[in-house]
């Protein structure tokens, strides 16, 4: 006959594995994807600041704004993923 702790351990095993994997994915997304997007935004801002042609700098500024929004959305998703809400 299984004890209560054995049953609880068997039940939590898969849940713990899922939680660990969620944390790993959240760390990896934060470490690689967000940093890469942020770096692209910085390069675009440098390009926009270096030029005086508004026909070029305005679309670049728009792209930087879209990158900022994407980073914010990704951070929110990572937070939910790490908390197990997804």
N- to C-terminal Cα separation, the chain: 35
pTM assigned to the model: 0.67
Number of domains in the chain: 1
| Distance separating alpha carbons of residues 61 and 51, to the nearest angstrom | 12
Contact 37, 70 (CB under 8 A): yes
Domain residues for the domain of 14 are 4-83
Whether residue 9 has pLDDT greater than 60: no
| Distance separating alpha carbons of residues 75 and 10, to the nearest angstrom | 32
Kindly state the tokens that stand for 74: 């990704």
Residue 29 buriedness (CB in 10 A; 0-12 / 13-18 / 19+): middle
pLDDT tens-digit map of 45-74: 998 888 778 888 889 999 999 999 999 999
């Amino acid at each position: 006959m299984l004890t209560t702790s054995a049953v609880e351990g068997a039940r939590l095993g898969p849940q713990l594995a899922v939680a660990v994997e969620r944390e790993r994915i959240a760390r990896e997304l934060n470490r690689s994807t967000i940093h890469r997007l942020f770096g692209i935004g910085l390069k675009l801002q440098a390009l926009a600041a270096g030029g005086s042609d508004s026909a070029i700098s305005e679309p670049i500024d728009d792209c930087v704004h879209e990158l900022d929004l994407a980073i914010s959305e990704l951070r929110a998703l990572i937070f939910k993923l790490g908390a197990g809400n997804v």
